């Protein structure tokens, strides 16, 4: 489960819906980059939410769940002004969420990057204080933290689908996994 937006209640709920679907799941909260390392080491067998490049990043054979968790835009957030894309950045300090994987390819080659812990809320705070000049955030995280502040704009720089993933050796469990995932999403989205 994504560390920044998970709490014990959500972890317990996820375990319960998976149990109801016939699976024994131990849920844990990890940032995406640690989840990738945990997949490689065999510490975890699945990831609740990731985009389609997860198997390549983890270098582990995986199958995605059939349940679409979200179709999410990725944004560059900057002050109102002339910047309209990542390519317009030159000397600006760009804040990216520490552990986020969705933005790796987007910032490839740009050197003035600060990886920021505590997600979008901390990025927004640093942007408001002038400690960074721009930030990357996904639409889901922006929505949870109140959106884009006055005087700033969000420029879409990416769009990706998010699914749950299982190691390929558990592919036969995917129907139960999808059933539990659907039940979980129905409960957290009501």
Task: Give the Cα separation of 158 and 73 in Å (integer).
Answer: 6
CA distance 77 to 86: 10
d(CA 154, CA 170): 39
CA 168 to each of CA 1, 60, 161, 178: distance values in angstroms, whole numbers, following the listed order? 19, 8, 20, 15
The CATH classification of domain 3-70+161-188, taken from the options 4.10.93.10, 3.40.190.10, 3.30.465.10, 1.20.1250.20: 3.40.190.10
For residue 1, the model assigns a pLDDT of 82
Euclidean distance between CA atoms 163 and 48, whole angstroms: 7
Helix (H, G, I), strand (E, B) or coil at 61: coil
Residue 156 in contact with residue 74, Cβ under 8 Å?
A: yes
The predicted structure's pLDDT at residue 167: 97
Predicted confidence at residue 5, as pLDDT, reads 67
Compute the distance between CA of residue 42 and CA of residue 130 in angstroms, rounded to an integer: 41
CATH of domain 72-159: 3.40.190.10
What pLDDT sits at residue 4?
Answer: 63
pLDDT tens-digit series, residues 140-174: 889 989 999 999 999 999 999 989 999 999 999 99
Cα–Cα dist 44/160, whole Å: 23
Question: Could you say which residues of the chain have pLDDT below 70?
Answer: 4-5
User: Of 92, 100, 34, nearest to 72 (Cα)?
Assistant: 100
| pLDDT score at 25 | 93
Q: Considering the chain, tell me which residue range(s) the CATH 3.40.190.10 domain(s) occupy.
A: 3-70+161-188, 72-159
**pTM for this structure?**
0.79
pLDDT tens by residue, 125-143: 999 999 999 999 999 889 9
Residue 112 has a pLDDT of 96
């Amino acid at each position: 489960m994504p560390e920044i937006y998970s709490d014990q209640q959500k972890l317990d709920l996820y375990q319960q819906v998976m149990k109801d679907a016939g699976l024994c799941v131990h849920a844990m909260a990890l940032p995406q980059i640690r989840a990738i390392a945990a997949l490689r080491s065999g510490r975890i067998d699945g990831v609740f939410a990731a985009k389609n490049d997860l198997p390549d990043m983890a270098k582990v054979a995986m199958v995605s769940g059939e349940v679409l968790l979200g179709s999410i835009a990725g944004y560059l957030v900057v002050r109102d002004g002339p910047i309209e894309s990542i390519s317009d950045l030159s000397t600006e300090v760009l804040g990216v969420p520490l552990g986020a994987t969705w933005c790796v390819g987007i910032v490839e080659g740009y050197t003035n990057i600060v990886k920021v812990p505590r997600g979008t809320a901390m990025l927004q705070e640093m942007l408001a204080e002038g400690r960074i000049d721009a930030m990357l955030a996904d639409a889901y995280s922006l929505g949870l933290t109140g959106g884009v502040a006055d005087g700033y704009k969000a420029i879409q720089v990416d769009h990706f689908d998010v699914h749950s993933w299982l190691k390929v050796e558990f592919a036969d469990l995917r129907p139960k996994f999808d059933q539990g995932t659907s039940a979980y999403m129905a409960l957290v989205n009501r």
